[in-house]
Chains A and B, each alone.
Chain A
Amino acid sequence: MRWDRLPNPWIHAALAVILSLLFVVFTYGGDAFRRGSLLFSGVLHWVEWPAATARRTLSTGLTWFEDQQELLRVNRMLRLEVLELRGRAQESVENVEPELPAGLLRARVTYRPPERWWEEVRVDRGSLDGVRPGDAVLSDGFLVGRVMKVASRECWVELLTSLSLLVPVVVDATRDLGVVTGTGAGGVQLLYIPPERELEEGMTLSTALVSERLQPGIPLGKIGRRDVSRGALFPYEVLLGADLSRLYNVSLFVRKGEKSP
């Protein structure tokens, strides 16, 4: 029986469906089908060339466009990053700390008890940084106190305004020796100047060479007016070079090469 002599088209349809199903069964996952597919693709290669070329051109164009968009996006991001980094660099340049002389340690005041405001402060340097009791503490280049107690990572500083701190000083202009001590209320006095000496206001004071731990020649401030004498004391008011009412950062004068106990 020939296929075209089948009288009923439905029989042809059924045969076509069965044939299709047989193709599904016998070609599913088969290598022969893959080889045939590759062969057929090779035959169609030149027929499909225009469409393939158009596709490649379109893809290249789209890729170029996407690349441009990506470049613009990255460029915009980098510009923002550069601006941010410039801002940060400017900020860090502004915040850079001046180089300290040898032996000076910069420290931050971490605590200042209100009830002992003019007596002491706590700073964030300790024995691990080479700080020892008696070391000089400076602010803006002027002596503000001495290290009193030292812990491993912090220490307490007794201020010049403290009643209990006595610092030997010399009047730079006359080489007169005296002692500076605090009034306990924010003031500082120069004591033990012989009464016959007439010191003028504005004369500068610096530390005297009388202590192992306190280096000589550290400036304190200037002499102010002479106070009313009290017994054998002939006190002078001292105008400190540093502002002790606002003490946020200080420098500790430590001895280089010395290890803390």
Chain B
Amino acid sequence: MTAFWAAWITQDLIQVFGVGLFPVPDLVLFLLLYRLSGESPDVIPVIWLAVMAGLLWDLRWASFAGPSSMLFVVASVIYYLVWINVPVAGRNTFLALVLMLMSQLFVSLGRVLFAFGKPQIVVQFGMMQVVLALPAVVVAAWMVGRNLRAHE
């Protein structure tokens, strides 16, 4: 839970610093996805943490609540579905990295669509957020890989 709050507040601080300048990467989402990448992840708490993280984010940075929580939940579930359907031998750092980037893109596009953005702006914003999220995703994917190696 501490890690959850730390990630949420860090994301909030980055947003405060960079609002209007650059889209902030969804660090909480990467934390949730990292939690889902274990051998036998506890999915249900992750789902409700996603709901809480999204609601709080929307409460702080959106004009209505719900979009972020829904996108976080859907992204987490899709990530989990793909992850558990890949053979254990295929689960590695690169897979986690790709899936996390795709999840970030999904959340970015969905969030901007909820704000009734124009398609061109939505794509630009999404791609920019993915690029900016790359360092955080690399770290998260590296942690996933390290956990996987620890269990082997």
A residues engaging B (CB < 8 A)? 3-4, 6, 9-10, 12-13, 16-17, 19-25, 27-30, 33-34, 36-37, 40-41, 44, 47-48, 50-52, 54-55, 58
Contacts and interface: CB of A to CB of B under 8 A. Distances in A.
B51 A52 contact: no
Contacts of B114: 24
Interface in B66-90: 66-67, 69-70, 73-74, 76-77
A40 B59 contact: yes
B13 A24 contact: no
Given A4-B44, A36-B59, A40-B59, A47 B9 contact: yes
B65 A27 contact: yes
Contacts of B76: 13
B66 A37 contact: no
A9 B47 contact: yes
A34 B56 CA distance: 13
Interface of B: 9, 12-14, 16-19, 43-44, 47-48, 50-51, 54-56, 58-60, 63-67, 69-70, 73-74, 76-77, 114
Given A23-B65, A33-B64, A40-B60, A13 B73 contact: yes
Contact of A16 (B19, B48, B60): B48
Contacts of A19: 51, 69
CB-CB nearest 6 A-B residue pairs: A23-B66, A20-B70, A24-B66, A51-B16, A9-B43, A51-B13
B64 A27 contact: yes
Nearest to A55: B17
Given A23-B65, A23-B69, 12 more contacts: A3-B48, A4-B44, A20-B66, A24-B64, A24-B67, A24-B70, A29-B63, A40-B56, A44-B12, A48-B12, A50-B13, A54-B17
Given A29-B64, A48-B16, A20 B69 contact: yes
B112 to A, nearest CB: 15
Contacts of A9: 43-44, 47
B16 A21 contact: no
A13 B47 CA distance: 6
14 contacts: A10-B77, A16-B51, A22-B66, A23-B58, A24-B66, A24-B70, A27-B65, A33-B59, A47-B12, A48-B13, A51-B12, A55-B18, A55-B19, A58-B17
A20 B16 contact: no
B22 to A, nearest CB: 12
B48 A12 contact: yes
Nearest to A49: B16
Nearest to B43: A9
B17 A28 contact: no
Contact of B73 (A17, A22, A47): A17
